[in-house]
Amino acid sequence: MIAHRGASAYAPENTLAAVDKAAALGVDWVENDVQRTRDGELVVLHDDSLQRTTDVEEVFPDRAPWKVSDFTAAEIARLDAGSWFDAAYAGARVPTLEQFVHRVEAHGQKLLLEIKNPQLYPGIEGRSSRCWATRAGWTART
């Protein structure tokens, strides 16, 4: 069984809480989505816009259309990625790929990494595989 965007029926998609919930449910595989920020950080988010799953409209009201690629990792780290799902998850953050991989590893899960919109982010495939390989102690070639 694979937990799509983590256990997204039970916790906000693509968050660390969703990984934790998948582990609690005994799910061995977690699927996630990767986007790249303006400053080159890889973050785990399905959409190329922050609008649907964060409070970006409130925090940065003058920055529409709120594309991930228009924000730095530090700016995205300020956003609430949990309240849209349930108030119990208020304060959940958009994780970096590194944070997400670390959590998956901590649970002994396997990762199915989906690179969203590679045409928007030239080179994201190589960066994503290097991040995963580095965490796993491998050497990645791209």
Residue 136 identity: A
Q: Tokens 């920020």 appear where?
A: 37
Nearest residue to 27 (alpha-carbon basis) of 60, 54, 3, 61: 3
123 bridge partner residues = none
Q: List the structure tokens of 119.
A: 């045409």
Reported in sequence order, the residue ranges of the chain that DSSP labels E, i.e. its strands, are 2-4, 29-36, 42-44, 110-115
- Given the residues 46, 67, 93, 127, select the one marked as catalytic: 46
- Given the residues 3, 4, 68, 83, select the one marked as catalytic: 4
Under a CB-based contact definition with an 8 Å cutoff, are residues 6 and 34 in contact?
no
In the residue annotation, 102 being an active-site residue is answered as no
Under a CB-based contact definition with an 8 Å cutoff, are residues 33 and 116 in contact?
yes
In the residue annotation, 46 being an active-site residue is answered as yes
Under a CB-based contact definition with an 8 Å cutoff, are residues 95 and 14 in contact?
yes
Residues assigned a catalytic role: 4, 46
